[in-house]
Amino acid sequence: MTILMQNEEIINKINQLLIEEIEINKEQIRHEADLKKDLGIDSLDFVDLFVIIENNFGFKMKAEEMIEVKTLQDFYSYIIQRINPN
């Protein structure tokens, strides 16, 4: 039996990882925040994020899937869809 993670639990975990691992200020964490412009996530940070997500959520992210991911909400939605596909 697979236990699906709740969306809020996933979002909270992502936020925690961004703060602790990527060193994003808690005040910057907003659903509409642009990953690059507002949060300052660069290509090296994305590489780190890929590893962090794999280690914490158990799946590999693919760069080509991230092309349309611009905001933190997009990122949440991407992770939620990968964890809990409908």
**Each residue's pLDDT tens digit, 17-60:** 999 999 999 999 999 999 999 999 999 999 999 999 999 999 99
CA distance linking residue 61 with residue 47, whole number of Å: 10
Quick one: pLDDT at residue 25?
96
Quick one: pLDDT at residue 1?
35
> Domain containing 47: what range?
7-83
pTM: 0.89
Residue 72 domain flag? yes
Secondary structure of residue 73 in the 3-state scheme: helix
Residue 69 domain flag? yes
Residue 2 domain flag? no
Residue 68 domain flag? yes
Residue 1 domain flag? no
Give the domain CATH number at 59. Answer: 1.10.1200.10
Phi-psi region for residue 32, left (φ > 0), alpha (ψ -120 to 50) or beta? alpha
Average pLDDT over residues 53-71: 92
Give me the amino acid identity at 68.
Answer: E
Number of domain units in the chain: 1
CA distance linking residue 15 with residue 30, whole number of Å: 9
Quick one: pLDDT at residue 11?
96
CA distance linking residue 72 with residue 78, whole number of Å: 10
CA distance linking residue 75 with residue 55, whole number of Å: 16
